């Protein structure tokens, strides 16, 4: 039987400061997070709707990233930034290779 009480315990990233170039990467990641989420929803049969309606599988965020409300973009940015910080906290280093 599952417990009803849950206390999240994410890796502590409070001391991690990301270099500026990773802040740009975080924005790209946020955009991609939205694109992956939207593709998955569309594959599941969801469509755009002005309000979220689970029985009809309609969602107002099934729009291009640039058309999202700022609050939704901030959610994706936060997820991306915390993922990058978690990698740094665990000792990982990202290196961009020349294209």
Query: What is the tens place of the pLDDT at every residue in 46-89?
Result: 999 999 999 999 999 999 999 999 999 999 999 999 999 999 99
CA angle 32, 38, 41 (to 5 degrees): 145
Total structural domains in the chain? 1
Residue 5 lies in a domain: no
Residue 96 lies in a domain: no
Residue 44 lies in a domain: yes
Residue 14 lies in a domain: no
Report residue 32 as tokens.
């991609």
Instruction: Please state, in angstroms and rounded to a whole number, the distance separating the CA atoms of residues 47 and 56.
Output: 9
**CATH number for the domain that contains residue 26:** 1.10.490.160
8 Å CB contact between 13 and 86:
yes
Alpha-carbon separation of residue 80 from 76, 87, 98 (angstroms): 6, 11, 23
Question: Could you tell me which residue, 33 or 24, shows the higher pLDDT?
Answer: 33
Question: Could you tell me which residue, 94 or 9, shows the higher pLDDT?
Answer: 9
Model pLDDT, residue 1: 65
Residue 9 lies in a domain: no
pTM: 0.85
What one-character DSSP code corresponds to residue 68? S
- Provide the 3-class DSSP secondary structure of residue 53: strand
Residue 95 lies in a domain: no
Residue 66 lies in a domain: yes
Domain with 30, as residue range(s), is 20-89
Residue 79 lies in a domain: yes
Report residue 97 as tokens.
């290779």
């Amino acid at each position: 039987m599952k417990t009803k009480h849950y206390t999240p315990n994410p890796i502590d990233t409070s001391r991690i400061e990301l270099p500026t170039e990773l802040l740009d990467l975080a924005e790209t990641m946020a955009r991609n997070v939205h694109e992956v989420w939207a593709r998955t929803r569309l594959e599941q049969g969801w469509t755009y709707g002005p309000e979220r309606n689970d029985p009809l599988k309609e969602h107002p965020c099934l729009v291009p990233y640039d058309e999202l409300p700022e609050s939704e973009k901030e959610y994706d940015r936060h997820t991306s930034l915390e993922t990058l910080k978690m990698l740094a906290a665990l000792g990982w280093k990202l290196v961009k290779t020349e294209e």
